[in-house]
Structure 1
Amino acid sequence: TPALQDFFGGIEEVAANPASVPARQSMLSTAESLVSRLHNLSDRLGEIRAGVEGQIKETVSQISTYAKNIAEVNNKITIAQQAGSAQPANDLLDTRDQLVKELNQLVRVSTSTDTDGSMSVFIGTGQPLVIGTTPTRLEALPSIADQSRLAVNILTQNGGAITIPESLLGGGKLGGLLNMRATALDSTQNQLGLLAVGISTAFNAQHKLGQDLNGNLGTDFFTIPSVSVQRYTNATTTTPDVQYADISKLAGEDYRLTFTDTVGGYALTRVSDGRSVSAADVGLSITPAATSWVGDSFLIQPTRHAAANLDVSISDTRMIAAGAPIAAAATASNLGTGSITAPVVSSTASIAGGAFGTSSAPLKLTYAGGSLSGFPATLPVTYTLLNGNPVTLAAPVVSVPYQSGMSIAVGGVSFSISGALKDQDSFTLGPNAGGVSDSRNAVALGQLQTSKLMLSANGQPSATLQSVYSQLVSSVGNKAREVQVNRDAQESLVGQAYEAQQSLAGVNLDEEAANLIRYQQAYQASSKVMTIASKLFDEVLALGR
């Protein structure tokens, strides 16, 4: 999407000139544009959903009306046949056939005719709609799992309602609406929300590893949407706390949580196929209530409303954390040729806790006798020699062996040291006092555009943010094309069926016109014969006189 590309373009401007206020303002503006684009798409999908729900309600009402009318016609046909008339009630039969034909446009219909002349009508996969003279009353009511979603229900004689599973209601307008909502609309909203969650979570995580122009650690750049958790209408257990744990494992799916005991034990199933899953495997962290009721269920929608709830959290350009919060340097008095790379930050906890000292008195690592010393006493150290495996030393670490080109990680900060060192050569590692012109974190933010962050496969993220959006667009386009092809095929089948039906029961106007002319000519010929015969008879009589 251009909005996503423009946003990362704004980040590149800040990375190129981190002290520029106009560049920072451009980054905020492109972020607002991206959020606005996601909001617009979400709003449009919401409008489509509202229209679908309205059509479902109207269609179910029409089906119920047709059921009532067919039952009434059945009653009239039964009475007419019981009266002993030798002729069938053709007008009533035609009326009923027309009603069934119109009903079949709303939902797939199958019928059977009883010996008394009444017709039983079944919809979908065999759900009874009309049995003899008794119609079934249908009504679209809010689902017990999601009050914003309508479900088709059978109204019982005692005022109760029995929900008909959507999988049993195929064909016709109703089947199309239900299928469109389940396979296209739900997945599209979920995938759009997945993109919003991916952007906000990954960007915030990296942004908080940086330092702003005020010298403070970065804060959340975006407002991370919360996971939607809805209780079933009959559930009384306290709503469980559900949070994002690993965005790479999110798949844009909905889940049903059902408590299995009274102490918070639960089962988690995927709504789309009913398969059991674990919270960790789908990127979620679930904290259930300590006390629960067996059978209580909750609908978890991790990404359904995320695009609508995404916002930019900061408005001050100085709060953009473009710099890194820690700096490293070789001491000017060193005698060797050693150098230290710019530190890469993966956690700011130890930095905030003062483990690396202050900008005026930073942590100092000193080389002596082939080893480096001076590491924080409370932190473990992991070092990796060239072509070696990482080695972790528990705190307190007195020293680590030195090798040119080795990498070291301590307190969420990693760096490399190389070169020929002399005894007492040292390196400082401390808070970044000159962060105004530092763009290390802005560069890291820009790299998120091409980093694989989403859709874990074999335990590793497999998709970038851009590819997630591309897959969404491709999915919608393919679905639209699939629907068009299916529509054309169904229209062709309907046309063939109609022609076959008309060949047996219909009237061919051309054929009837030709027959009418033939019968007219036969009548004229017969009339001519009678005229000649009359004249001949008159002549015979005249001869007798």
Structure 2
Amino acid sequence: MSVLNIGTRALQANQIALQTAGNNIANVNTPGYSRQSVVLTAVAGQFSGGGYVGKGVDVQTIQRNFSTFLTRQATLASATQNADLARSNKLNQLQDIFSGGSTGLGAAVSDMMNAFSDVASAPTDLTARTVALTRVDETAGRFRTASQALDDLQTGVQQELSQKADAINTLARNIADVNEEIARAQGSGQPPNDLLDRRDQLVRELNQYVQTTSIPADDGTVGIFLAGSQPLVLGTTVSPVSIVSDEFGDPLKSKLAITRDGQQILLDENALGGGEVSGLLRFQNNDLAEGRNLLGRLTLAITMEMNAQHKLGLDLDGNAGGDLFTTIDLNTTANIRAPEAPAKVNSNPLVQITMTVTDTTQLAASDYTINFNSATSGTITRLSDGKVTNFTQTLPSTTLATVDGITFDMPSAALATPQVPTVGDRFLIKPFSTSASNVARVFSTPRQLAVASPIAGAMGTTNKGSLQQVSLTALSNNQTATPHAPVKLTFTSATTYTRSDELPTPDTTVYTFDPNTAITAVDPLANWSLKLTGTPKAGDTFTVVDIKDPAYKLDLKLNGGNATAMMNLRDKAMFDGAAMTDGYASAISQIGIRTQSASYAATVSSSIAANLEKDRSAVSGVNLDEEAAKLIQFQQAYQASAKMIQIAQNIFDTLIQGLGR
């Protein structure tokens, strides 16, 4: 009977081995499946006078070929890869919005500026004026189109984030369910391999969306943590996540929040690690925000400069020019939060921050935060690079500080009963986020295009030197009913002159003439800046006159001085030192650098993830050639075991026959 028992045990063991190999082959393409191996152990032998006699084989367990270290490394690498790919893909979409070529925003700005060249050459040509206004309208339209494209991209990212948060919650619930099944199966004394594989696969899928940390418990369950320490799954308990606004309530920025014990906790995106949610949050809160600020700064600076210059001119009817583009209002108050009550929107709703642009050439494409250390002092932080500016308000002045060409004011400080912030209050300031949303051309009548300068220069008719006018630029435009007195420069030598506008005694002070230095005047009609060149003779004159002064018989309709000044704005250094017409190229460059960097990071992380997955698969994956060899091996062992049983049967039959005689 011992031979029969040994054969039966061997038959059963090899049958299980065949079944396990077949199961491996069947699951060769199953995601998350770990190769299984039968662990055989010899049955303790029976003592006899001639020694211990073996009693066969037993199946000790079905072993799961699995490396905790390699699986964790592959999962982390996959999370990083998914974060980099998600951000890179969205940056490519952002780069498409900031496109170049003839259909890009940069071309529209250049065409608009160049259109004023034709108007300067022919100020009375209504066709040239109409073309210039059309270019203005096209530029405004492209500003709005780009802004709408950013809004659409924002909406798409927000929807993706919400969907991925739902996916995280679904996977977390599934992990909790599998945790429960595994805890129940622990009582059998054998590992539930398929359940363990299923849970590990769910964890890998979860890390596609957000990087997690897994900590095993004594009951066989696994705790899943986000951002280092926040429990998403503890045993069979799930703390759901959601996408919410940031601590300022900014609708254009999001945070991943986890709800635990009824309390919502905002997670720091920098602590999230990898995963698509992390990549999308980084894109939305940083890259897309910078794109908005770059577009907004470009829109604000160009429209303000064009409006300011247009107001310095006169239209065909002699009226002072107005705005060319709609005015962009920066006086938007951001939310203020009290640190002792983070959920409270406003500690004092009457405390407000307003903004005024004082220098368009200094604007930085950034948001700002204002932190009050006291009722009248604090810091202004530029969020793009973290630069901090300290301020101390001197009451009753409303000004806090001027940073990057923007003056920040707190007008509530000038109230009869001043409203003051409390210590720790914070403001989020977004000067440019909506600048391009509603910009448009103000008027469509070509006669209203103010291309004439309110002032003109007149050389003396008896001049004998080589004096020539290089430029005469109006710096203000205050039209009056009667012509203003001219300002006459009389040269006393090649290097000196007197002025008729000197007060209280005109024509007595002698000024030095330098062709490289502009001559300026504060004039009730129009402050101006004049540049002359050449070598004047004593007695030569140059007069700055009101263009509408009939004494000089000047036709303002033929004057294109302001059109020339508007055209010359294209070379004004504005955007981090770049000219106005190069501002868009600078924005493209900054977005392009981010896109290229993100693409490189995605390529590197994908390569690392692929290599680590290959290492993991080398341990846990199924090799069909190896399993086929095992099938032959176990088949032969099975057949041999069956032969052993047959032999035992023959021995038993022979014994029975012998006893029957």
Fold equivalence (TM over 0.5): yes
Change (3 A) 1:450 1:366: closer
Paired residue for 1:358, among 474, 478, 483? 483
Question: Is structure 2 residue 501 aligned with structure 1 residue 372?
Answer: no
Q: What's 1:327 paired with?
A: 456
Alignment TM-score, normalising by the size of structure 2: 0.69
Residues 259 and 266 of structure 1 are in contact (CA less than 8 Å); yes or no, is this contact kept in structure 2?
Answer: yes
Secondary structure in structure 2 of the residue aligned to 1:218: coil
Report matched runs for 1:367-446 at 5 Å.
372-375=498-501, 377=503, 398-401=508-511, 408-411=519-522, 412-415=527-530, 416=532, 421=537, 427-433=542-548, 434-446=555-567
Measure, in 2, the Cα distance between the counterparts of 1:473 and 1:27.
25
2:606 to 491, 495, 501: 491
- Paired with 1:487 and 1:520, the residues of 2 have a C-alpha distance of 48
Partner of 2:251: 147
Partner Cα distance (2:513, 2:357) in 1: 41
CA distance 1:152–1:273, shift in 2 (3 Å): farther
Q: Quick check: 26-35 or 488-497, which moved more? A: 488-497
Q: 1:244 to 1:519 in 2, by over 3 A?
A: same
Instruction: Say if 2:239 and 2:258, in contact at 8 Å, map to a contact too.
Output: yes
How many residues in Structure 1 have an aligned counterpart in Structure 2? 509
Superposition pairs for residues 126-141 of structure 1, below 5 Å? 126-141=229-244
What residue in structure 1 maps to residue 174 of structure 2?
69
Judged with a 3 Å threshold, the aligned counterparts in structure 2 of structure 1 residues 126 and 363 are, in CA distance, closer, same or farther, namely: same
Q: Give, as a single letter, the amino acid of the residue that structure 1 aligns with 2:407.
A: S
Q: Which residue of 1 aligns with 2:437?
A: 308
The aligned counterpart of 2:360 is 247
Contact 2:252 2:285 in 1 (8 A): no
Q: Distance in 1 between matches of 2:191 and 2:309?
A: 80
For residues 449-468 of structure 1, the aligned pairs below 5 Å read 449-455=570-576, 462-468=577-583
Secondary structure at 1:308 match in 2: coil
* Deviates further, 285-294 or 91-100: 91-100
Counterparts of 2:625 and 2:306 in 1: how far apart (Å)? 73
Query: Which residue pairs with 2:226 in the alignment?
Result: 123
Give the number of the structure whose alpha-carbon radius of gyration is greater.
Answer: 2
CA contact under 8 A between 1:237 and 1:293: conserved in structure 2?
Answer: no
Please name the residue that 2:407 is paired with: 285
CA distance in 2: counterparts of 1:62 and 1:241, whole angstroms: 41
Aligned to 1:270: 382
The equivalences for 1:38-49 within 5 A come to 38-49=143-154
State the match for 2:334 in structure 1.
230
Note closer, same or farther for the CA distance 1:352–1:76 as it changes in structure 2 (3 Å cut). Answer: same
Instruction: Give, in whole Å, the separation in 2 of the partners of 1:112 and 1:98.
Output: 16
Return the TM-score normalized by structure 1. Answer: 0.83
Whole-Å Cα distance in 2 between the matches of residues 154 and 184 of structure 1? 24
Structure 1: distance between partners of 2:637 and 2:584: 76
Q: Please, which of 111, 114, 120 is the counterpart of residue 9 of structure 1?
A: 114
Structure 2: how far apart are the matches of 1:482 and 1:368?
64
Higher relative CO (Cα under 8 Å, sequence separation at least 6) belongs to: 2
2:405 maps to a residue whose letter is: G
Q: Is the 8 A contact 1:403 1:418 kept in 2?
A: no
Tell me if structure 1 keeps the 8 A contact 2:453–2:561: yes
CA displacement at 1:221 relative to structure 2:
1.4
Q: Quick one: distance in 1 between partners of 2:618 and 2:319?
A: 83
88, 91, 97: which one aligns with 2:200: 97
The change in CA–CA distance for 1:338 and 1:498 in structure 2 (over 3 A counts) is closer
Q: Counterpart amino acid of 2:111?
A: D
Aligned to 1:261, what secondary structure does the other structure show?
coil
Tell me if structure 1 keeps the 8 A contact 2:224–2:233: yes
Identical-pair percentage: 31
Other structure's SS at 1:312 match:
coil
User: For residues 181 and 435 of structure 1, what CA distance do their matches in structure 2 show?
Assistant: 51
2:259 matches 1:259: no
Kindly tell me: are residues 402 and 528 of structure 1, through their superposed partners in 2, closer, same or farther at Cα, counting changes over 3 Å? closer
Give, in whole Å, the separation in 2 of the partners of 1:113 and 1:504.
Answer: 21
Aligned: 1:482 with 2:597: yes
Deviation of 1:242 after TM superposition, in Å, equals: 0.8
Distance 1:454 1:224, change over 3 A: farther
Cα distance, 1:148 vs. partner? Answer: 4.1
1:255 positional shift: 0.5
Q: In the superposition, relative to structure 1, how do residues 296 and 99 fare at CA in structure 2: closer, same or farther (>3 Å)?
A: same
Residues 373, 30 of structure 1: CA spacing in aligned structure 2 closer, same or farther, 3 A cutoff?
closer
Unmatched runs of 5 consecutive residues or more in structure 2: 1-105, 337-344, 391-400, 414-418, 549-554
Provide the rounded CA distance (Å) in 1 between the counterparts of 2:631 and 2:497.
115
- Gap change, CA 1:239 and 1:5, over 3 Å in 2: same
> What SS class does the counterpart of residue 214 from structure 1 fall into?
coil
Partner of 1:382: none
AA of the residue aligned to 2:351:
T
Assess, with a 3 A threshold, how the Cα gap between structure 1 residues 499 and 401 changes in structure 2: closer, same or farther: closer
- Secondary structure, aligned partner of 2:316: coil
Deviates more, 1:22-31 or 1:503-512: 503-512
Partner residue, 2:13: none
Instruction: Say if 2:253 and 2:285, in contact at 8 Å, map to a contact too.
Output: no
* RMSD over aligned Cα atoms: 3.4
Taking the aligned partners of 1:250 and 1:518, their CA distance within structure 2 comes to: 77
After the TM superposition, which parts of structure 1 deviate over 4 Å for at least 4 consecutive aligned residues?
A: 335-340, 363-371, 395-398, 401-407, 417-423, 521-535
SS in 2 for 1:162: strand
Q: Aligned partners of 1:315, 1:266: CA distance in 2, in Å?
A: 46
Deviation at 1:314, TM superposition (A): 2.6
Tell whether the 8 Å contact from 1:209 to 1:345 is kept in structure 2 after alignment. no
